[in-house]
Chains A and B, each alone.
Chain A
Amino acid sequence: MSRVLAFLTRRRGGKGWHWTDIVTWAWLVGGLIVMFGPALWLVFSSFKTPAALAEFPPTLLPVATQTVMVEGYDKPLELYRATTDDGETRTLAQIRRVGIIAQMVDPRDPGTVYKININDRVPVRSVDFATENYVEPMEKNDFTLYLRNSVFVTAIATIITLLTNSMAAFALSKYSFRGRDAVMLLIVATLMVPLPVLLVPLYSVVSTVGLFDTLWGVILPTVATPTGVFLLRQYMLTIPDELIDAARMDHASEWQIYWRIILPLAAPALAVLAIFSVVWRWNDFLWPLVVLSSKENYTLQVGLNTYAGELNVQWHFILAMTVVTMIPVVLVFTFLQRYITSGIAGSGLK
């Protein structure tokens, strides 16, 4: 500890703590709590039973009142530490509660019934992860379906994005043809028209081509991203033309040049675009919300929103499914953060 302290206070040429150091650390620690806290709270809450979720004040860890099966009773009974009339403290199971009097039995001796004031007993509680929050919506509700739809949309959209964008970028960076600048300008210009602006006519186009309420209707409008073409083109411009000339000398076809030379060399940029595409498509909400109408086609985001919008919000399921929705993105973040930060710092991609 003292070495840590020494490490921290070593700064500023041994002059000790400057006020800016205090501000820095207050900001960092505050940031840690505000940025990570909510997500952690979500994860902890997602393992709580509905009863534990309704508790105020809430506990951090998911705790539940222990239950026990007693002979002669169909349902598991809740366990309490109770003080009986003779002043002894026993562990009793509650049969029923009438007003402020609880009727309780000793699980080992179910014959005698004790009547106990509810103020004289405390529930026996232990940390208990309610994994049924995760299992039930997957089994009973359509969440497995939503999950599958989301994976399908994300995977297919990313593959098509990489293929079509890299082909277009290759044409725009390595060929000189009439109208190239016009095409480039057109692509850059559409950076100006985000989805909300195209919502109504896009819906009509997608309906006309028969893709309304299909997963392909979710995928296709998103794949011709101008950002992707732009990013890949900028990268391919740095690949020397001499390589292509050499390949042509060796009678490689243009397709082979694209497939065997350009694509492998553009791998770093492709990786960045792939990561972003996965995150974008996984997180898409407004467009799937508009284009998908039947429940079996919902993606996770739309499904989650629908469940959360119901009159009787089942928070225990919603919290668990929110965690499931978060997992892929957290994995991407943990392992591929370097690519993402370089992508943003390099090109303002988002």
Chain B
Amino acid sequence: MSSGNATSSRIGAAFAAPVTLAASLLNVPLKAWQKLTGNNGMAAFFLAPNMAIFGVFVLVPLVMNFVYSMTSGSGIFLGDRNFVGTGQYARLLECPNYLNPRGCREDLFWTAVHNTVLFVVLQVAFMTVVSMITALILNRRIPARGFWRAVFFFPVLLSPVVVGLIWRWILQRQGLLNFVLFETGFEPVDWLLDRDWAFAATIAVSVWAHMGFYTLILLAGLQAIPKDLYEAAEMDGTRPARVFWRITLPLLTPNLLVVIVLSLIRAVQIFDEAYVLTGGGPGTSTLYLTQYIYEVGFASLLRNPGLAAAASILMGAVLAGLTLIQLQMGRRGERKGKR
């Protein structure tokens, strides 16, 4: 053991040596800079790399997105594009009846909106309930709790492509699920070729992939509830259901809200798993907003970056609202923590 540690630390030192050397070489010009500009100048130096990357790849695109959304044409560089004002928004929003996407001018956009809204509502509800139950169960006195927590958490780290492929393999016509159905005497189903089943599959798979994350947040909340409350309830002979409704749920509400808002934010952006699993099909039954933006902006033959930008800004507005709620809740939680 000790020799292994020695070897690994020697390897570590071999890697660290050039880094340390570079760091100490950097010290000379930086010291001069510090003399010249004082500590504030050093703050600027420390901020510079991050803010430069941040500016070029986040802030500039953010501003450009508004410009893009007001232009038309298929060119990707702004110089090749025509200014059309709010034309793209008007095109997206032109619809006699928003509840019937087929009648709208941009029928695909409204189909994607409908699918996304339905997906978000069902997925968040399903996700919250499943992770709540799991957290409650993991919070009980069970043997090997760490192991069980790991079981539910493990898919969170898998890449969406891997998740999509795993389930495509299981849900295909001759897949494992149909085999299980066949063995138990049910009719096999073409899960990914049926519109409704494919839609349900994207919900189920995304819950499978992410529930561990929300379970963990809820579990942290459950473990923060003071034990003496439960002891007092036990002394009074309170029934478990009543304990849940009167103690657990009210005290867990902040965490529950965080879970709901976070999963809302993520569900609105659903893309990777669903795209790999169904590719938006069959037909347009699992076409979600991000995929619409991707296809209109890049993938389709009649690409229209302006329209994609306008759609992404509409989506961004919804997400910004949700994030503001989340930050507000976080601040309230912080204040509570301080008290």
Contacts and interface: CB of A to CB of B under 8 A. Distances in A.
B161 A285 contact: yes
Given A163-B49, A196-B290, A220-B53, A255 B161 contact: no
Contacts of A36: 151, 154
A205 B56 contact: yes
A11 B141 contact: yes
A305 B162 CA distance: 9
B98 interface: no
B43 interface: yes
B interface, how many residues as a size bin?
Answer: 35 or more
Interface string B169-199: 1100010100100110000000000000000
A171 B46 contact: yes
Contacts of B143: 7-8
A28 B65 contact: no
Contacts of A98: none
B247 interface: no
Contacts of A329: 157-159, 162
Given A193-B320, A205-B56, A350 B213 contact: yes
Contacts of B76: 203-204, 207
Contact of B158 (A190, A201, A205, A326): A326
Given A38-B167, A203-B297, A168 B316 contact: no
Interface in B24-67: 26-27, 30-31, 34, 39-40, 42-44, 46-47, 49-51, 53-54, 56-62, 64-65, 67
A interface, how many residues as a size bin?
Answer: 35 or more
A180 B313 CA distance: 28
A229 B312 CA distance: 25
Contacts of B265: 194
Contacts of A208: 77
Interface string A265-277: 0000000000000
A348 B53 contact: no
Contact of A168 (B47, B176, B269): B47
B183 A309 contact: no
Given A200-B309, A201-B65, A253-B31, A177 B43 contact: yes
Nearest to B43: A175
B121 interface: no
Contact of B47 (A45, A163, A172): A172
B251 interface: no
Contacts of A325: 159, 161-162
Interface stretch (A53-61, A66-74, A129-137): A53-61
Nearest to A172: B47
A199 B26 contact: no
Contact of A326 (B26, B162, B213, B275): B162
A95 interface: no
B202 interface: no
A136 B277 CA distance: 25
Given A205-B64, A221-B57, A38 B166 contact: yes
Contacts of A340: 157
B142 interface: yes
B229 interface: no
Interface string A197-226: 111111111111100000000001101100
B54 to A, nearest CB: 4
Given A35-B155, A340-B157, A199 B308 contact: yes
B117 interface: no
B104 interface: no
Report which residue of B47, B51, B78 has the largest number of chain A beta carbons within 10 angstroms of its beta carbon.
Answer: B47
Interface in A315-331: 315, 318-319, 322, 325-326, 329-330
B157 A187 contact: no
B12 to A, nearest CB: 13
A139 to B, nearest CB: 21
Contacts of A156: none
Report which residue of B57, B59, B183 has the largest number of chain A beta carbons within 10 angstroms of its beta carbon.
Answer: B57
A80 B323 CA distance: 65
B323 A322 contact: no
Interface in A1-44: 7-8, 11, 20, 23-24, 27-28, 31-32, 34-36, 38-39, 41-42
A176 to B, nearest CB: 9
Which 9 pairs from chain A and chain B are nearest by CB?
A283-B159, A168-B50, A171-B46, A201-B64, A201-B61, A197-B316, A224-B54, A175-B43, A345-B220
Given A56-B174, A285-B159, 20 more contacts: A35-B208, A38-B170, A39-B166, A57-B183, A177-B40, A183-B51, A187-B54, A196-B290, A203-B76, A206-B57, A207-B76, A208-B77, A224-B51, A254-B42, A259-B23, A283-B159, A333-B157, A337-B150, A345-B216, A345-B217
21 contacts: A11-B141, A31-B134, A38-B170, A42-B165, A58-B176, A164-B49, A170-B46, A177-B44, A190-B54, A192-B316, A193-B58, A201-B68, A204-B64, A254-B39, A255-B26, A259-B23, A279-B157, A286-B271, A309-B279, A319-B165, A350-B262
Interface of A: 7-8, 11, 20, 23-24, 27-28, 31-32, 34-36, 38-39, 41-42, 45, 54, 56-58, 163-165, 167-168, 170-172, 175, 177, 180, 183, 186-188, 190-194, 196-209, 220-221, 223-224, 229, 253-256, 258-259, 279, 282-283, 285-286, 289-290, 301, 304-305, 308-309, 315, 318-319, 322, 325-326, 329-330, 332-333, 337, 340-341, 344-345, 348, 350
Interface of B: 23, 26-27, 30-31, 34, 39-40, 42-44, 46-47, 49-51, 53-54, 56-62, 64-65, 67-68, 76-78, 133-134, 137, 140-143, 148-162, 165-170, 174, 176, 179, 182-183, 208, 212-213, 216-217, 219-220, 240, 258, 262, 265, 269, 271-272, 275-276, 279, 289-290, 293-294, 297-298, 305, 308-309, 312-313, 315-316, 319-320, 323-324, 327
